[in-house]
Chain A
Amino acid sequence: MTEAEIIAFGRNYAPDPAHFDKVAAADGPAAGLCANWVQVLATAFRLFIEAGGFADTGEASPGMESARTLRPVRPGDTIRAIAEVVFMRPLRSRPQSGLMVNAFTIVNQHGETVAEMRLKSFMRRDPAAVAAETEEARA
């Protein structure tokens, strides 16, 4: 995370001096400039998408079960995310899609967890699997 990214997000989406004013941030609760934690969650999601988390079958997210912040992310920190599939089931209303919950653990370059998030997603199902189920139901 660069200082420029942290300040740009701060100006747009988190207008608190902790995220865009180095001088004021030095005396603030985090004792220095840090990323707004929503930016940390959004960055983890971007990394997940870039890693092919959904390939091209992601549809939408109905929300998050929960999210929490544990440590500040500062300019120069490098974060990465581990997204574990913790729940999945086909949708009753749209059987061609499924609901999945991913538990994200977001860590910095020291391996310390900086934030966690449990994100819900709708994802398309394998058409062959859906077709086989339909056949089964008919038989």
Chain B
Amino acid sequence: MTRFFEDFRVGERFETDGLTITDADIIGFAMKYDPQPFHLDREAGKRSMFEGLSASGLHTLSVTNRLMIQTRLFRACNLGGEAFEDVRFVSPVYEGDTLRATVEVVETEPPQTAGSPGRLRAKVTTVNQRNETVLSLLADYRLACRPVASEGPEQQ
């Protein structure tokens, strides 16, 4: 279903697919974006407060970003991610963990003037295979409204 701003309702929930995190993913991400020893070096990971090789919080956030985009929920109407609030790296993500996320619409704000975007706030919760929360955040989006002249989603 092609969705525009008007098609979302507060309280709606969406589930993403899952993704299994490998040690290569963890170390590859850390080499580029979070080169701290406990994300790069298995032995340093064991000595850290994580007690094992764990993913960077930014990696978990990036995977969540991927899972959300993969749902194509906002594909037709997303005008660009605007803000995150209250991002919590609740528990560590380890190699072999499988993550999936739930997206709940918590707030919508119609456009102030015709032609401008609507705003949507989503509560995103990422869990592992044991259903333990690893990440939660509020994400704000600017979404395009359904084009006035068009009934069908295919029309430009």
Contacts and interface: CB of A to CB of B under 8 A. Distances in A.
Do the two shown chains form a genuine complex with each other? Answer: yes
A61 B34 CA distance: 11
B81 A69 contact: yes
Interface string B51-81: 0000001100111011001100001001111
Contacts of B63: 13
A50 B35 contact: yes
Contacts of A43: 33
Interface residues of A, number: 35
Interface residues of B, number: 32
A38 B49 contact: no
B132 interface: no
Contacts of B32: 42, 46
Interface centre among A62, A64, A122 (most CB of B within 10 A): A64
Interface stretch (A52-60, A101-109, A127-135): A52-60
A101 to B, nearest CB: 12
Given A36-B65, A59-B48, A42 B88 contact: no
Given A14-B66, A66-B84, 15 more contacts: A13-B66, A14-B62, A15-B70, A16-B75, A29-B78, A37-B80, A38-B61, A41-B58, A42-B58, A43-B33, A49-B36, A50-B35, A62-B89, A69-B83, A72-B80
